[in-house]
Structure 1
């Protein structure tokens, strides 16, 4: 009986720790007010002027992110951890844009000849001052941690060529469905991914060139990029013949140019 009692206490403690994941409500509100959906949500634009008017709210949220200690983060469920990191990356990217907005045509203008906005160390997160690259490559993409390639359709680089900034915060309890929805919306955007029936070629975003290995590490049982595309043949191709070719893994792949224009409303 005593063992059962202490076992119950232990289970309750774990459940409580996991249930106390970070509240992203403030970020969710900002996104709902200042992210504008285009083409049924396949793309979005950001009202940076509106974000700037609420910059105090954004900074309060960023301060709350910064206050999370590594030990607290370590108690969360993995899905809550990943949602936290994605939201942190996206929120800090918006903050970075606001440091130069208006008058900014591309996030790549932030930095210099020998530096990039993604290597700038300005993010206070989990006890360290980090860069956006540190968050994406050192935490989100760290090998044998999350192993979730669909994060590439969730993290947003403030550019038209990038997958849409979602109009809501990512949350652990719905993360799988949110990532799947973001993936399908991005792949359905014909300006960035399309099967060309004339050339029998699948023309896709440079993301699949830059991060090919992430899609071939076994997620979903897939070890090749062609297998990943076969899973999403229904949204990548508009004809039955095109879908059959993708499902058979027989389509040649080419990569489209990436548009680094700022994803600003009205740009």
Structure 2
């Protein structure tokens, strides 16, 4: 046990050093938007960024720092499977989320500024998410490999909140965070990202007795139906974060609204997804 306690700070320091260059770029080139509109401030009290519920990305800035981004991706590619396997689950998951987000930015930069959506990359038979260009854990991978084969690998991380951390370079996505993820504070970061996204009533809102929510909850419904904390259903997950949700005018939900969501008495409609590039205006 004593040896383990000595190793943990060393791993944490090495991890922070590994992701520090990406964190510096994110702090510089990710711009918060959409201030919190919740009437009673519940969302803010749960740790949401006080700056905004979403972000835009200064891809022109990232373009000017492609050398630094390439160096960061190179450092990720040198991490061996053996090293990765020795890390705790949070450190592993933070590494994978950062890799997904950084490689997505890298993919956008291959065509930027001559694109309006990530879906402009590739063709009818070549999805941007299926292109194998990301060197990670000893092999060349696609973004789909990283997300679905590693981050969402069945029975490994069991973490539905990853959907508010990975960013697909689109307006419909949850915010790209202004810092890199690290294992030591991953739970806090994922919690903030989840509350942040659900507080964004341009993407999720209550109207009458209907909850209008992001298509993410439809595409990945199975992830929100796994046993997680006090929830094992999509309705349970949404009710767990009921105080972050609001009506489309910004008014917070009351206990009766949250109970209606929990019991399934509220209708659920999935909103159209906005695939336009989340570029800074």
Structure 1 contact 20–76 (Cα < 8 Å) conserved? no
Structure 2 contact 12–184 (Cα < 8 Å) conserved? no
2:274 equivalent to 1:263: no
- TM-score by structure 1 length? 0.92
CA distance in 1, matches of 2:153, 2:186: 18
What is the CA-CA distance between 1:243 and the residue it aligns to?
A: 3.2
- TM-score by structure 2 length? 0.88
Structure 2 contact 245–253 (Cα < 8 Å) conserved? no
2:34 equivalent to 1:39: yes
Off by >4 Å, runs of 4+ in structure 1: none
CA distance in 2, matches of 1:32, 1:223: 35
Rg: which structure is higher? 1
Counterpart position of 1:28 = 23
2:229 aligns to what SS in structure 1? helix
CA distance in 2, matches of 1:160, 1:96: 16
CA distance in 2, matches of 1:16, 1:186: 31
Aligned pairs for 1:89-100 (under 5 A) are: 89-100=100-111
Counterpart position of 1:253 = 268
CA distance in 2, matches of 1:164, 1:239: 22
2:179 equivalent to 1:168: yes
Aligned pairs for 1:163-202 (under 5 A) are: 163-197=174-208, 200-202=209-211
CA distance in 2, matches of 1:12, 1:235: 37
Counterpart position of 1:119 = 130
Task: In structure 1, list runs of 5 or more residues that go unmatched.
Answer: 1-6
What is the CA-CA distance between 1:12 and the residue it aligns to?
A: 5.5
CA distance in 1, matches of 2:14, 2:87: 6
2:155 equivalent to 1:144: yes
What is the CA-CA distance between 1:223 and the residue it aligns to?
A: 1.5
Structure 1 contact 212–225 (Cα < 8 Å) conserved? yes
2:235 equivalent to 1:223: no
Structure 2 contact 242–253 (Cα < 8 Å) conserved? no
1:195-244 deviation per Cα after TM superposition (whole angstroms, max 9, x unaligned): 112xx111100000000000111011321111111111111132424334
CA distance in 1, matches of 2:119, 2:59: 16
Choose 223-232 or 11-20, whichever is displaced more: 11-20
Counterpart position of 1:3 = none
2:95 equivalent to 1:84: yes
CA distance in 2, matches of 1:236, 1:242: 10
CA distance in 2, matches of 1:242, 1:121: 45
CA distance in 1, matches of 2:172, 2:259: 27
CA distance in 2, matches of 1:147, 1:18: 23
Counterpart position of 2:249 = none
1:162 aligns to what SS in structure 2? coil
Structure 1 contact 233–247 (Cα < 8 Å) conserved? no
1:100-124 deviation per Cα after TM superposition (whole angstroms, max 9, x unaligned): 0011100001010112100000000
What is the CA-CA distance between 1:247 and the residue it aligns to?
A: 4.1
1:144-164 deviation per Cα after TM superposition (whole angstroms, max 9, x unaligned): 110000000000000000111
Choose 229-238 or 133-142, whichever is displaced more: 229-238
Counterpart position of 1:4 = none
